[in-house]
Chains A and B, each alone.
Chain A
Amino acid sequence: MLKITNLNVYYGGIHALSDVNIEVNEGEIVTLVGANGAGKTSTLRAISGLVSPASGSIEFEGKDLIKTPSHKIPYLGISHVPEGRRIFANMSVAENLQLGAYCRNDKEEIAKDYDAVFTKFPRLKERLRQRAGTLSGGEQQMLAMGRALMSRPKIMLLDEPSMGLAPIIVKEIFSIIQSINQSGTTVLLVEQNANMALSIANRAYVIETGRITLEGRASDLLTDESVKKAYLGG
């Protein structure tokens, strides 16, 4: 479904991604784990067209994403929940969700998805008219995910959904990610919290200073000695 081949990204003189190869198949949860600054966010930003790669290719259902301007990418069925959530703080929860459906015109189906978001995130319904900036961190993450669902994506890119959240909220968020996947959305999940990410993913990639150093079944990586040492706390 999504195929990244030999991707290279530079920020000025810094080689942020070197020859990254990642493949995501339909229906999977694939996770990309690694430390701060390893290139996880850059990978997602390259998929969404927010950074332009120096070389390599990114294909989604056979379409070349590198030649597609960033604002056209949501129309293809790719939805990106960015690092730090990036909700529109000064707008209401309802307006944030409406913006999630910006790339769609089918009013009736949008209304259905709007209700579906509230079944997944009942807490958002209570806060519908509230300014999004006043929500708690966990609620903001839920809003960012709800907003992404409003585009009815084929694949959802999630960037550090656990960042800054209490363990109990992280658990809730991850079980929602699983349920999103079960209802048919492919997931590419970027995480520092390798333990959580590997426990829900089908396959995983480990990225270190811009290179993929390891890949395989998530359950295998969870027991891999080097992964344990580096990312799972022994």
Chain B
Amino acid sequence: MTLVEFLQQLINGLSLGSVYALIALGYTMVYGIIGLINFAHCDIYMVGAYIGFFVSTDLHLPFVPTLIVAMLGSAIAGVLVERFAYKPLLRKASSISLLITAMGVSLLLENGFNAVFGGSPRSYPHNILTQKSISLGPVRTDSLHLIILLTSVVLMVLLQIVIYKTKIGKAMRATSADKDAAALMGINVNATISATFAIGSALAGAAGVLVGILYNSIDPYMGIQPGIKAFTAAVFGGIGMIPGAFLGGLILGVIETFVTAWYSPLSGAIGFIVLIVILIIKPSGLLGKKVSEKV
């Protein structure tokens, strides 16, 4: 592999990885705040892709408004799932019932969309983003991969600002650390949990639109594969750690791209091989750490 090829693959890997990262953030944020692996999260990604498809096809919205509408719609979908499916169980039922509920919601969304919109793949309008070949010196890549990478990076920077600089971000971090103590500070814990679902779902919705445009095909079951990969990325980075999800997603995307270029039959499995190796060496994930608390 020459250096030019390497750089080209690196860009492809980073853009695939940034999509994984966008989805992984939702897994890790929800896990961080209520300790639930939200299996329905990957279907919110699919919902986002569909919302983006409908507004760009029927309302002829350009890329950025499509992305924003899809993010808002996914946020609402995520909060609805949280309010109706999870909240009645939270603090009352065991975590295993919550987990099974999440799987149920996932199946409901997949098969519900299949029943309502049909299972045949749909494609985004061709003019939403035109695929141009771009040369950066000797490195040739295409505009779609760069736009995806750029959009993801912008969203992740925004997320960092929200989490570390705003009041709601502080409330989210406090709530995920200790719900009772957060309530004693005057933080509305339920509203904060909903906000976490909204933000995570909006990011997944954005990923759905980006992938829908890149692969030009969406269907009700499109979330399953990337969902598993993103979940792997979240665990890989250290579940519950936001920078971990970001890093895990990028690394997984890059490794997968390079392995695919080298020996494609391994592409599906490589993520999990890496995960197993990491978990053997560092069980809490790349950035995960055991919190030591004095009592």
Contacts of B174 in A (CB 8 A): 88, 91, 99, 102
Q: Is B167 an interface residue (CB 8 A)?
A: yes
**Residue ID in chain A nearest B189 by CB atoms:** A71
Q: Is B170 an interface residue (CB 8 A)?
A: yes
Q: Is B178 an interface residue (CB 8 A)?
A: yes
Do A91 and B294 touch across chains, with their CB atoms under 8 A apart? Answer: no
Q: Is A90 an interface residue (CB 8 A)?
A: yes
Q: Is B155 an interface residue (CB 8 A)?
A: no
Do B291 and A95 touch across chains, with their CB atoms under 8 A apart? Answer: no
Interface flags, A44-61, vs B, CB<8A=1, else 0: 000011100000000000
Contacts of B295 in A (CB 8 A): 84-85, 137, 164
**Residue ID in chain A nearest B292 by CB atoms:** A133
In the assembled complex, the CB of A200 is this many whole angstroms from the nearest CB of chain B, namely 23
Contacts of B273 in A (CB 8 A): none
With most chain B CB atoms within 10 A of its CB, the pick from A73, A99, A135 is A99
Q: Is B37 an interface residue (CB 8 A)?
A: no
Do A135 and B180 touch across chains, with their CB atoms under 8 A apart? Answer: no
Do A82 and B180 touch across chains, with their CB atoms under 8 A apart? Answer: yes
Q: Is A80 an interface residue (CB 8 A)?
A: yes
Partner of A74, one of B170, B185, B291, B292: B185
Q: Is A151 an interface residue (CB 8 A)?
A: yes
Interface flags, B166-192, vs A, CB<8A=1, else 0: 010011011001101101111111000
Pairs of residues from A and B, 8 with the lowest C-beta to C-beta distance, nearest first: A103-B186, A74-B186, A86-B181, A70-B183, A102-B185, A71-B188, A88-B177, A89-B293
Q: Is A223 an interface residue (CB 8 A)?
A: no
In the assembled complex, the CB of A142 is this many whole angstroms from the nearest CB of chain B, namely 13
Do B171 and A88 touch across chains, with their CB atoms under 8 A apart? Answer: no
| Sample of 12 A–B contacts (CB below 8 Å) | A49-B183, A50-B184, A71-B187, A74-B184, A74-B186, A84-B295, A88-B177, A95-B170, A98-B170, A99-B174, A102-B167, A151-B185
Contacts of B291 in A (CB 8 A): 89-90, 133
Which B181-213 residues have a C-beta within 8 angstroms of A? 181, 183-189
Contacts of A89 in B (CB 8 A): 177, 291-293
In the assembled complex, the CB of A50 is this many whole angstroms from the nearest CB of chain B, namely 6
Q: A133-B291, A140-B294 are in contact. Are A86 and B183 (CB under 8 A)?
A: no
Partner of A82, one of B173, B184, B188, B189: B184
Partner of A102, one of B171, B178, B293: B171
Contacts of B186 in A (CB 8 A): 71-75, 102-103, 151
Do A100 and B177 touch across chains, with their CB atoms under 8 A apart? Answer: no
In the assembled complex, the CB of B221 is this many whole angstroms from the nearest CB of chain A, namely 38
Interface flags, A164-186, vs B, CB<8A=1, else 0: 10000000000000000000000
> What is the interface residue range for chain B against chain A?
20 to 34
Do B170 and A99 touch across chains, with their CB atoms under 8 A apart? Answer: yes
Which B36-78 residues have a C-beta within 8 angstroms of A? none
Partner of B185, one of A84, A99, A133, A140: A99
Do A88 and B178 touch across chains, with their CB atoms under 8 A apart? Answer: yes
Please report the C-alpha to C-alpha distance between residue A155 and residue B291 in the assembled complex, in whole angstroms: 32
With most chain A CB atoms within 10 A of its CB, the pick from B184, B187, B189, B295 is B184
With most chain B CB atoms within 10 A of its CB, the pick from A50, A85, A88 is A88
With most chain A CB atoms within 10 A of its CB, the pick from B167, B180, B183 is B183
Do A137 and B184 touch across chains, with their CB atoms under 8 A apart? Answer: no
Contacts of A74 in B (CB 8 A): 184-186
In the assembled complex, the CB of B15 is this many whole angstroms from the nearest CB of chain A, namely 31
* Beyond A49-B183, A135-B294, A137-B295, 7 additional pairs, beta carbon < 8 A: A70-B184, A71-B183, A88-B173, A95-B170, A102-B171, A133-B291, A151-B185
Contacts of B178 in A (CB 8 A): 86, 88
Which A74-111 residues have a C-beta within 8 angstroms of B? 74-75, 79-80, 82, 84-91, 95, 98-100, 102-103
Please report the C-alpha to C-alpha distance between residue A72 and residue B167 in the assembled complex, in whole angstroms: 16
Please report the C-alpha to C-alpha distance between residue A79 and residue B185 in the assembled complex, in whole angstroms: 8
In the assembled complex, the CB of A12 is this many whole angstroms from the nearest CB of chain B, namely 13
Interface flags, B268-295, vs A, CB<8A=1, else 0: 0000000000000000000000011111
**Residue ID in chain A nearest B167 by CB atoms:** A102
Please report the C-alpha to C-alpha distance between residue A133 and residue B189 in the assembled complex, in whole angstroms: 22
Which B135-182 residues have a C-beta within 8 angstroms of A? 167, 170-171, 173-174, 177-178, 180-181
Partner of B294, one of A49, A102, A103, A137: A137
Q: A72-B186, A99-B174, A103-B186 are in contact. Are A88 and B294 (CB under 8 A)?
A: no
Do B293 and A133 touch across chains, with their CB atoms under 8 A apart? Answer: yes
Contacts of A71 in B (CB 8 A): 183, 186-189
Please report the C-alpha to C-alpha distance between residue A100 and residue B184 in the assembled complex, in whole angstroms: 9
Contacts of A140 in B (CB 8 A): 294
Do B177 and A50 touch across chains, with their CB atoms under 8 A apart? Answer: no
Do A90 and B177 touch across chains, with their CB atoms under 8 A apart? Answer: yes
